[in-house]
Amino acid sequence: MRDVAVIGVGMTKWGELWEKSLRDIFVESALEAVNDAGVDKIEAMYVGCMTSGLFVGQEHLGSLLSDYLGMGPIPALRVETACASGGAAFRSAIFDVACGAHDVVLAGGVEKMTDVGGDGATFALSTAADSEYEVYNGVTFPGLYALMAVAHMDKYGTTREQLAAVSVKNHANGSKNPHAQYPFEVDVDRVLNSVMIADPLTILDCSPITDGAAAAIVCPLDKVKDYTKNQPVKVLATAHATDTIALHSRKDIAWLSAVEKAGADAYKQAGLEPKDIDLVEVHDCFTIAEICVIEALGFFERGKGGPSAESGETAIGGRIPVNASGGLKSKGHPVGATGVAQIVEVTKQLRGEADKRQVENAKIGMTQNMGGTGGSSVVHIFGVE
């Protein structure tokens, strides 16, 4: 297996991009990555997208987007594992380069979520849950994560204010990210008093509906100088694990075993422990998700993630900065793009290009992307010399 490095990343402003179509926003981000790397071609492409069929009536994105990027007839494939599709696209690109099939491969992610009306987005997202058992009975994702939150509060004493503190921290970080959809700060009172979505989660506990894309270019580590002048960001680990997609099938709904498994695999591959990680981007689709994830990744003991944001330990400058980018909460969550955007952030942080949200002396970064209520999780670790 050849070692792989990230040599270019791209991302443009996320939000409700009414004036642009899926193909437009993908190409914008992909060209940013091409320009950042300084390459004049890519040899293969993987696109993470959860459900463009339901959102915009378009499948076959690999071919469509490689054509619009001007890169046809390269092999180009879409991969999907719900909201972890972006992380999985990056992992597929690694395997492609690692096995020697190609040298310069683009991993992109995209979702155009605002072009669907009525309850279309809620239904489209529900397809990440078990359609025959969960969705059929009317549960939606805010409802599922609310169940997880209630279980965590009951079992460990996690408080409503601790959930809110995650949102406060991520909005504070996102206010320093020019690409964030909602780059404003919030306080605990505002989170608690915002409209209730699924008790105990208010709308400021939920990540938004977003149009957006992101892209990263990888090549073999030993050929970096052939392709770019950028500082390479080495991929130290790639891991993917699954769990039941139905929440009711799990022993403990306050614990994310796919995240634990993918995290453990990644630490093992990299020969690292949680204490070695300088920053992590995690999948905070809801505030409770961040708390569960940082426990499953071993940054906090089981049941001890609740106070993390309140105590400042996960802030920029804290013990383990979590979601310096603003996370899904503030930056936005175009579901198929999120996993790649996490890699964009970690790459910029490790290259020292994160401006006002820079984590000082960041040498090792981790990304954790998740599908559904944790039915899948993809974890990567990156490092610079």
Would you please indicate which residues are annotated as catalytic (active-site) residues?
Answer: 83, 333
CB of 83 to a copy of itself, least distance (A): 9
Stretch that binds a copy of itself, among 31-39, 74-82, 216-224, 323-331 (CB under 8 A): 74-82
Q: How many positions of this chain bind a copy of itself (CB under 8 A)?
A: 64
Q: Which sign does the torsion angle of CA 363, 42, 223, 1 carry?
A: positive
Query: Residue 347: phi, psi to the nearest 5?
Result: -60, -45
Give whichever of 21 and 231 is closer to a copy of itself, judged by the CB atom.
Answer: 21
- Check residue 31 for interaction with a copy of itself (CB under 8 A): no
Binding-residue pattern over the window 85 to 114 for a copy of itself, x denoting contact by CB under 8 A? ---x---x--xx-xxxx-------------
> Does the footprint of a copy of itself cover residue 59 (CB under 8 A)?
yes
What one-character DSSP code corresponds to residue 359?
Answer: P
CA dihedral for 220, 222, 227, 229, sign (positive or negative): positive
Q: Which stretch binds a copy of itself (CB under 8 A): 71-79, 275-283, 289-297, 359-367?
A: 71-79
Alpha-carbon gap, residue 61 to 52, rounded angstroms: 8
Nearest distance, CB of residue 97 and a copy of itself, angstroms: 8
The token pair that represents 147 in the structure block: 């169940």
Give the separation between CA 345 and CA 331, rounded to whole angstroms.
Answer: 11
Out of 261, 283, 348, 380, the residue judged to bind a copy of itself by CB under 8 A = 261
Residue 162 within binding range of a copy of itself, rule CB under 8 A: no
Among 175, 194, 231, 244, binds a copy of itself (CB under 8 A): 244
Nearest to 338 by CA among 275, 301, 285: 285
The residue with tokens 């070695």 is 276
Please name every residue paired with 366 in a beta bridge, in sequence order, or none if there are none. Answer: 280, 381
Query: CB of 153: closest distance to a copy of itself in angstroms?
Result: 26
Fill in the amino acid letter for 311.
S
Q: HSE (CB half, 13 Å, CA atoms) of 128?
A: 30
135 binds a copy of itself (CB under 8 A): yes
Question: What is the nearest approach in angstroms of a copy of itself to the Cβ of residue 258?
Answer: 6
Q: Counting contacts by CB under 8 A, is residue 73 touching a copy of itself?
A: yes
Residue 82 Cβ vs a copy of itself, minimum distance, rounded to whole Å: 4
DSSP annotation of 38 reads T
Half-sphere exposure (Cβ direction) of 33: Cα atoms closer than 13 Å: 35
Among 3, 31, 58, 188, binds a copy of itself (CB under 8 A): 58
At 70, list the tokens.
């001007």
Instruction: Give the shortest CB-259-to-a copy of itself separation in angstroms.
Output: 10
Q: What gap in Å lies between CA 251 and CA 147, rounded to an integer?
A: 14
Among 174, 332, 372, 383, binds a copy of itself (CB under 8 A): 372
* Alpha-carbon gap, residue 342 to 340, rounded angstroms: 5
* Closest residue by Cα to residue 109 from 12, 5, 176, 236: 12
Write out the residues near a copy of itself by the rule CB under 8 A: 1-2, 21, 23, 50-54, 56-64, 66-67, 72-82, 88, 92, 95-96, 98-101, 123-124, 126-132, 135, 239-245, 249, 257-258, 261, 371-372, 375-376
